[in-house]
Structure formats: C-alpha cells, structure tokens
Structure 1
Amino acid sequence: MKTVIKQNWISINIDKAWENHTLQEWLDHMVPSRSKQHLLFQNHEIQLQRKLPARTTRLQYHDQLDIKAFSSGIDFLLDNHEVDVLYEDAFFLAVNKPANLLVHPDHPDQHHTLVNQIAFYYNRQGIDYPVRPLHRLDRDTSGVLLVCKCTLLQPLMDKLMQEKQIYRTYLAVTEGIVLPKHGVINKPIGKDRHQSNRFRISSSGKASITHYRTLRHQDNSSLVECRLETGRTHQIRVHLASLKHPILYDPIYGSASNDHSLALHAWKLTFYHPIYEKKITISCPPPLSFPIQP
C-alpha cells in the first residue's frame, strides 16, 4: 500500500485489490471500529480525491484517499531515561522492556514506568503522539513490547491481538526438568480469592492456552519456549507452576530471590504490517543475567 505521511494525515493510493470495493468495505478492513469511522466522517478527517466521500463510494485504482491517522499530545510525564529500541517505523515502535519496571503508571503523576521513558524518547525525536502499547508485560518480565504510534491503526491492531494474529513467544527458565518436552497447557485461569496479586487454575476462570517446548536443560533447570494463544495476567507463570515447574525466582508462584529477577523474557513478536503489507518479526535476546541462554 503506497502511502505518504503529511503531518498527522496519510495519503493512500488505492491499489488494484480494492478497485470497485466501497469505501465502507475498505474502512471495515482497515479501521474496524464504527465509533472511529463515525468520528472520521463527523470531523471531516477523511477525503477521497480531495472531496468528502460517501461511505458507498466505489474506489477506483489509483484514487487518492487522505485520512487523519495520528493524534497529537504526549500524555505521560517524561522520564529522562534511554529506551532500548528494537524496531521503529512511522507507525510502530518496539522496545526492550527491562525487568522490574512497570509498563503503565498507576496514576497520572507517577514517574519511572516504561511509558514515561517512551514519552521522553518521543519528545526527544520531535514526535508528539500519545504513547499506546498494544499489550502488557508483567513488572518482572523483560523483553519485546510493541507500541502503536498511529491512532488510525489502533483498532485494527487491537482486533488482530484479540484474534491471536499477533504472535508472542517467551523464554522461561523453570525449576526441574520439564517433561514431556513439548505440549499445550489448556487450563482456565482466575483470580485467587485469598491473595489479590495471585492467579490460579480455576474451572470458573477464563480460557487460557499456552504452547510450550523445552529447548534444553541445565543444572536441574529447563529453558522453555512458550507461545501464548491467550494473554491472561500471569498466564505463563501460572501454567508452568501447574506442571510443578514454576519459573525460577518467581516470588508468587515459586521461590523468590533477592539477587535474581524472574526468569521470564518476551523473546519474539510477529505481526503483519497493515501498511507495508509484510510480516514483521521482532526478536530480543534475554539479558546476560538470564539463567540459561537460548
């Protein structure tokens, strides 16, 4: 898809695949949020051939579609701290989140979270966008976090995340030798009524599926690759603990350590780029302190 960014707008040349489709069909594919679509028309933030179009207008090859795609306003306090950028283009940013760092602040005046650091990075780059991570990582988890710069694409990326079309792969080092070496953990997860920050396997919980594969063993520990099919809070931690192989240094589901961080790392993330129309894979090696390296 050929696009040109003009301030907060993008100009799109309609390609052959969309010829004779209606503008509404294109919007339903690219902006799967009726409220967002409504605002585009209401605020005159969409033009076709430099005119306000009707939703039923049929697109023609090489038509020019202009649409407001970016919002203005960094909305978190700035933390003067470097971020480790893994991938960046005009629409997305991926960073390496350190362990022992919150992604979001608990209140607007809070500092020292990853989004505060990204806000500082945006400001330094002359980017005036709100900071919008597409998913979360636990405070204790390190690794790849994907951020959407483009407000227009946010509903689509949220939909792809819900439909499990954004693939996330983690590395965990567990206590003991995990056998069988590969499998699927399909156990629902719910809140622990007796401990507010803890989750547990529960028949009344939400469906939770983790695919795992043991890569190697070392000193009665296992390096396990985990791919999430669902994204529940503490999912990998709860699922591996349910196999009697909790993650090393897990203060909630295993044995805490004052000298080590939780041995869980977001290793890879793969998504289909809706503008560049190609698959993007972002990987991040675990920190050197990780107990077993891949």
Structure 2
Amino acid sequence: MTEQSHQVEANEKGLRIDKLLAKINDDASRSQAQQWIENDYVMVNGEHIKSNFKCQPGDVITWNIPDPKPLKVEAENIPLHILYEDSDVLIVSKPKGMVVHPSAGHMSGTLVNALLYHCQDLSGINGTIRPGIVHRIDKDTSGLLVVAKNDHAHALLASQLKDKKVERKYLALVHGSISHEYGTIDAPIGRDPKDRQKMAVVEGGRAAVTHFEVKEKFDGFTFVQCVLETGRTHQIRVHMHYIGHPIAGDPKYGPRKTLDLEGQALHASTLGFTHPATGEWMSFHEKLPATLEEELDNLRKMC
C-alpha cells in the first residue's frame, strides 16, 4: 500500500473528484474511483469526501489504495517463439490472440504462464502477475517483446524506455489513403470521457508521439510503419483513428465494416535496445504473420 497525492491545478477547477481520480490514474475507471471513495481510501485536504465533491485549485487529494491480493499464476507448457535468450534478457515474438500477463479474466494461456514454464528466473519488479514484463503489447497485436530475467536488467531496460532510447517499430494496415508519405502525430492520450473502456486524444492527457511512414498503398487501405516515441496504452490505434485512418480489423477504434482479421492489423516488427549487461546495441526484426501477409497479397491483386 503506497500513499499518493495530487494538488488540483487551475485547469481542473470544478471537476468531480471521481472523474479527476480516474484521469490521474491511467489504469482506473470512474467506477473504481467511486469505490475507493466509498471505502474511505481517498481524502481531500485531510477529510473524507463523496464522489460528487467538486475540486478547487490548491486542493490536495491523497489516496491510499490497498495492494490487490496476489494471484497464483501457474506455469504452463505453451510453445514460445524465442528469437534470442541469455542470462539477462529474452526476446519473444508474441502471437496474435495471446494476452501478455494474467488478469482477473485471463489467468491462463498468457505469455507469462508460458514464460514461467520456460524460465527458472524472471525479474520480480512488477510482482507475481507480471514477472519479467518490461513493456506490453495488446492481445491482438503480434510481435516482439523483451523480457527481463533479473531485476538489474529490468531496471535498466525500463530506464531506456522512459528515456526514449528503445527502438520500437510497428507495421499496420489502416483504412483510407494517406496523402503524404511521412507524418508525426503529437497528441495527448487519456481515458475517453465517453467510454471508460477506451483511450482517446484528450486535453490534459499524457504526452504521446507517433511517427509514421507510408510503405504501400492499396484501394481503400494504406500499409504503414509506425515508430513509437512514447508508449501510451493503445497509442498507435488511438492516433491512427484520430487522424482518420483507423487500423483495419480494430474492434475498438475501427469502423464496423472492415477486413475480417479477427483483431487489429498491427505487428511489432522491430525492437532495438542497449543490452543491460554488455552495453551492446541489439536489434531484432520479426516478419509479418502469415494471415496479414496473405491479406496484403489479396489487396495487391485488387489494385
């Protein structure tokens, strides 16, 4: 249990406390914030309040949320596509459809379940639910992840991510024809105020920058490479939707009429970083999944 605090800023004047808490805590929904308030985990200026409390500049919000009870994660004999492994790091290519780490609705079949079977040691910085997990990609996004096998490696890799020194390139098939060959999307991302299960470009969100390059154009679609400068939740999916070119097959941010891809056409193709022990720059590349390659071939035939 760790106490956190936030001083209300001028642009947050009049916001309900539950709404502001959900905004401050990226992983929390408004209903969760209301539950925290009902359980007296939240105080404003040293006093307990109700969910409809209106914040004023200078108010000091403190919250002390009990740590979730640890869940027992079982090792499972699930095949892994490992590109590289040594005593510090492991590079794995996650298939589409696999969840990275266990959660209430996914306690088995995850990448972590598979890693626990494969590895005797993983870093413990992120606790028992996310051992070794330095960064994540969505369930239906395929591609490369680096896994830390000890806490020293984890801390150095996390620092590289924070300092924007990790190279992360994605390939994506998006709707529409992008008129220019290169572009940068610099737009803050936060919880969608209209749908707490989604992220969106919102005023006051966390800084998010995505660079993109057009690789190939088709009738009604464009194949792009995206480079992450930051790593916000659903960043590429949200940013491409924001500029009017949502990712094909994306059930959350894309149109209803789209290609039948069983999830977004997004693939983490390149991953580069400085090895935490040797100091050597390492770069890994993973080819597109066969299903996405087949879809691109179909689109080429239609041009």
TM over 0.5: yes
**Rounded Cα–Cα distance in structure 2 between residues aligned with 1:172 and 1:246:** 10
Query: How far off is 1:275 after superposition?
Result: 1.9
Gap runs ≥5 in structure 2: 1-71, 124-130, 298-303
Query: How far off is 1:286 after superposition?
Result: 1.4
Taking the TM superposition and a 5 Å limit, the aligned residue runs for 1:30-41 are none
Amino acid aligned to 1:111: S
Residues 167, 109 of structure 1: alpha-carbon distance in 2 compared, 3 angstrom cutoff: closer
**Rounded Cα–Cα distance in structure 2 between residues aligned with 1:121 and 1:153:** 18
**Rounded Cα–Cα distance in structure 2 between residues aligned with 1:165 and 1:218:** 33
Partner of 1:20: none
**Rounded Cα–Cα distance in structure 2 between residues aligned with 1:275 and 1:137:** 25
**Rounded Cα–Cα distance in structure 2 between residues aligned with 1:247 and 1:129:** 33
**Rounded Cα–Cα distance in structure 2 between residues aligned with 1:108 and 1:189:** 25
Asked if 1:95 corresponds to 2:92, the answer is yes
Taking the TM superposition and a 5 Å limit, the aligned residue runs for 1:240-255 are 240-255=240-255
Report % sequence identity. 35
Which region of structure 1 is more displaced relative to structure 2, 108-117 or 132-141? 108-117
**Rounded Cα–Cα distance in structure 2 between residues aligned with 1:216 and 1:259:** 19
Residues 99 and 106 in structure 2, CA contact (< 8 A), matched pair in contact too? no
Partner of 2:264: 262
Residues 277, 157 of structure 1: alpha-carbon distance in 2 compared, 3 angstrom cutoff: same
**Rounded Cα–Cα distance in structure 2 between residues aligned with 1:221 and 1:234:** 20
Instruction: Find 2:77's aligned residue among 61, 80, 85.
Output: 80
**Rounded Cα–Cα distance in structure 2 between residues aligned with 1:80 and 1:270:** 28
Q: Secondary structure at the match of 2:197?
A: coil
Query: How far off is 1:151 after superposition?
Result: 1.5
Asked if 1:292 corresponds to 2:296, the answer is yes
Query: How far off is 1:260 after superposition?
Result: 3.1
Residues 213 and 224 in structure 2, CA contact (< 8 A), matched pair in contact too? yes
**Rounded Cα–Cα distance in structure 2 between residues aligned with 1:187 and 1:94:** 30
Partner of 2:196: 196
Superposition RMSD on alpha carbons, in Å? 1.9
Taking the TM superposition and a 5 Å limit, the aligned residue runs for 1:8-23 are none
**Rounded Cα–Cα distance in structure 2 between residues aligned with 1:129 and 1:204:** 36
Residues 108, 241 of structure 1: alpha-carbon distance in 2 compared, 3 angstrom cutoff: closer
Residues 99 and 111 in structure 2, CA contact (< 8 A), matched pair in contact too? yes
Question: What is the CA deviation profile of residues 154-190 of structure 1, one whole-angstrom value per residue up to 9, with x for unaligned ones?
Answer: 2221111100111111011001111211011001111
- TM-score normalised by structure 1 residue count: 0.69
Amino acid aligned to 1:268: T
Structure with more relative contact order (C-alpha pairs < 8 Å, separation 6 or more): 1
Gap runs ≥5 in structure 1: 1-74
**Rounded Cα–Cα distance in structure 1 between residues aligned with 2:117 and 2:82:** 13
**Rounded Cα–Cα distance in structure 2 between residues aligned with 1:240 and 1:100:** 21
Q: Secondary structure at the match of 2:290?
A: coil
Amino acid aligned to 2:296: I
Taking the TM superposition and a 5 Å limit, the aligned residue runs for 1:36-47 are none
**Rounded Cα–Cα distance in structure 1 between residues aligned with 2:105 and 2:116:** 13
Question: What is the CA deviation profile of residues 8-64 of structure 1, one whole-angstrom value per residue up to 9, with x for unaligned ones?
Answer: xxxxxxxxxxxxxxxxxxxxxxxxxxxxxxxxxxxxxxxxxxxxxxxxxxxxxxxxx
Instruction: Find 2:107's aligned residue among 106, 110, 115.
Output: 110
Residues 110, 260 of structure 1: alpha-carbon distance in 2 compared, 3 angstrom cutoff: closer
Residues 121 and 150 in structure 2, CA contact (< 8 A), matched pair in contact too? no
Query: How far off is 1:266 after superposition?
Result: 0.4
Partner of 1:182: 182
Residues 108, 100 of structure 1: alpha-carbon distance in 2 compared, 3 angstrom cutoff: closer
- TM-score normalised by structure 2 residue count: 0.67
Which region of structure 1 is more displaced relative to structure 2, 256-265 or 215-224? 256-265
Paired residues in the alignment total 215
Question: What is the CA deviation profile of residues 252-288 of structure 1, one whole-angstrom value per residue up to 9, with x for unaligned ones?
Answer: 1113565533100001000011322211001111101
Q: Secondary structure at the match of 1:196?
A: strand
**Rounded Cα–Cα distance in structure 2 between residues aligned with 1:162 and 1:168:** 13
**Rounded Cα–Cα distance in structure 2 between residues aligned with 1:137 and 1:109:** 15
Partner of 1:237: 237
**Rounded Cα–Cα distance in structure 2 between residues aligned with 1:171 and 1:109:** 27
